[in-house]
Amino acid sequence: RRGDLRAQVAANLRGTLRLQELARKHGAGRLLKIMQEVLDYSERMMRAMLATLPDGTAAFEELCDGDGIVEDGESQDRPFRIRLRVTKRGDTIGVDFAGTDPQVPGPMNAPLAVTASGIYCAIKMVADPTDLVPPNSGCWRPVDLRAEPGTVVNALAPAPVVFANHEISHRVCDMLFGALAQLAPERVMACSQGTSAIFIVGGVDYRNGARYVSYETIKGGFGARPTKDGINGVASGISNTMNTPIEILEMSFPVRIERYAIVADSGGAGRYRGGCGVERVWRILGRPAQVSVCCERSVAPPFGLAGGGPGAGARVTLIAPDGRERRLHSKGTFTAPPDARIVMRAPGSGGYGPPSERDPARLREDVLNGYVTREAAAERYGNSRADELGCPACHGLAAC
């Protein structure tokens, strides 16, 4: 985190110097005029892209897992609902969150800027899939975004907001995909993992007595597309965080990563299969540690489109040193004793199109690669399709 903040400060200082150099070279007035022309150009381009989408109105709503706050007398936090309606007319598009639940006690409230970022991401991906429009504020002039103040998508102080920065922006992006799929199904991919799947562990390192904290995001499935399978184990949608190598984690922190793998059957079935999620298992070493988790999509899994099935939802499990297992809610903080294991599964993603239309050769490859089990192939794609896989001993690649 300290390195991230320093990098951001350095980037802004460097940007200031470069901007001053441009102003001295070309004149401040001319530079401001050019900036305005760039914004106007992006607006014209985005309007042209939006005009290619069919006109119409569509609605979508989803249930979020909860805010991480358990009230007295309850066993877990309460889910809350987000609703949106999209209206496309000519070269403009409107998104209205009327009917969305009020802001919540926990940190799952999004400032309007966070909600807007998720909406803008979805619009850019659908309207401008080849990224021809320079991304700047001019792009969003044709977008009319409305959200009632005091709701989870337009929070007012002093509502806590930190989880919503990544979780609500993911969610509203997915929801707009779901709504736009009703207007232009050939332009929209199925739902991706829909969460940053955050795992934080900290404490005192038994090796040197130093305090430590590790902050990781777990990768999930990228949604199946109208003409392609989804992608396994990647940051998707609004995310762009990198994977930390296991060797670095184990050298830097008192943990052991006992498993890091693609989760079979986590991608939604379809003509095009959804991307699979990832499972990672941490073992706490030496001393107790404080662990915090934050993810979504354990209540409402990533949806498929055009007849495709949903991806598997998120799952967090605590395994005590004596082997007892306890499933945890998707948000919370707890103390993990030495030798405890925490299993975190990031969601897969939705499939696209009817599973019965999947190419048998692709299904065979899925089974061979461990993305789909034979049992799931039979259940989701039909017994007749499973029979086409051939002998399990040779993975259907040779005759016995």
How high is the mean pLDDT of the chain? Answer: 93
81 pLDDT above the threshold of 50:
yes
Q: Do 228 and 117 belong to one domain?
A: no
Q: Are residues 211 and 253 in the same domain?
A: yes
Q: Is residue 280 part of a domain?
A: yes
Same structural domain for residues 333 and 221? yes
The verdict on 81 and 133 lying in the same domain is yes
By the 8 A CB rule, do 255 and 283 touch? yes
Structural domain count of the chain: 2
Pair (292, 205) in one structural domain: yes
In a domain, 380, yes or no: no
Dist. CA 336–CA 282, nearest whole Å: 11
d(CA 78, CA 103): 12
- Give the pLDDT band of residue 153 (cuts 50, 70, 90): very high
Bigger pLDDT: 333 vs 4? 333
pTM assigned to the model: 0.90
| 24-49 pLDDT per residue, tens | 999 999 999 999 999 999 999 999 99
Q: Are residues 211 and 339 in the same domain?
A: yes
- Residue 271 forms part of a structural domain: yes
**Residue 62 maps to a domain:** yes
Which of 188, 217, 238 represents a domain boundary (last residue)? 188
| Closest residue by Cα to residue 126 from 267, 237, 38, 276 | 237
CB 67 within 8 A of CB 49: no
Q: Tell me if 43 is assigned to some domain.
A: no
Domain closes at, from 142, 164, 188: 188
**Are residues 343 and 314 located together in one domain of the fold?**
yes
Judged by DSSP in three states, 8 sits in helix
Supply the pLDDT for residue 397. Answer: 45
Task: Please choose, from the candidates 98, 196, 87, 237, the residue with its C-alpha nearest in 3D space to the C-alpha of residue 154.
Answer: 98
Q: Inform me whether the pLDDT recorded for 388 exceeds 70.
A: no
Q: How many percent of the chain have pLDDT more than 70?
A: 95
- Four-residue CA torsion sign, 316, 320, 322, 326: negative
Q: Are residue 249 and residue 306 in the same domain, yes or no?
A: yes
Q: Are residues 197 and 342 in the same domain?
A: yes
Q: Give yes or no: residues 206 and 176 share one domain.
A: no
Residue 27 lies in a domain: no
Distance CA 369, CA 383 (A): 20
Q: Is residue 396 part of a domain?
A: no
Boundary residue ending a domain (324, 342, 358) = 358
Domain range for 338 is 189-358
